[in-house]
Amino acid sequence: MAASLARSMELKQMLSHTKKKENQSMEDYVRRIQNIAENLASINSPVSDTDLIQHTLLGLGPGYESLVGPLTLFPEGLTFDKLCTKLVHQDARLRYQQSLDVIPTAPAFAAPNSADG
């Protein structure tokens, strides 16, 4: 019993401190949260969808604020699975926008070939 309680406390602490790293994919981030929740459920300490949603949103960086704000203001009908789908789509959108910002530009002019002199 004591070991189970200690494990539950450890997993809950992990859940509350899980943050999405900048270079981490959203799929990896939500999978990490799902794994913690599944481990908690396996020791009879399940996490509600509401708590999973809250922990997941709290672990996101400022790049997701445009999605987090509306989801916290209008959470009706939101499940953890629906949240994961929305986050994965937003992550893909952000990565696409970032890729557009990194497109190299061609040089404005080329140096003449000195051999043609």
pLDDT in tens, 51-79: 999 999 999 988 788 888 888 888 889 99
Q: Which residues of the chain have pLDDT under 50?
A: none
How many C-beta neighbours within 10 Å does residue 105 have? 5
Per-domain residue ranges of the chain = 23-98
Residue-averaged pLDDT of the chain: 86
Q: What percent of the chain has pLDDT over 90?
A: 54
Instruction: Measure the CA–CA gap between 84 and 45, rounded to whole angstroms.
Output: 22
pLDDT of residue 102: 67
Q: Are 40 and 68 in contact (CB under 8 A)?
A: no
Q: Is the dihedral of CA 98, 78, 46, 42 positive or negative?
A: negative
pLDDT score for 52: 96
pTM: 0.77
Q: Percentage of the chain surpassing pLDDT 70?
A: 85
Buried b (16+ CB within 10 A) or exposed e, 68-97: beebeeeeeeeebeebbebbeebbeeeeee
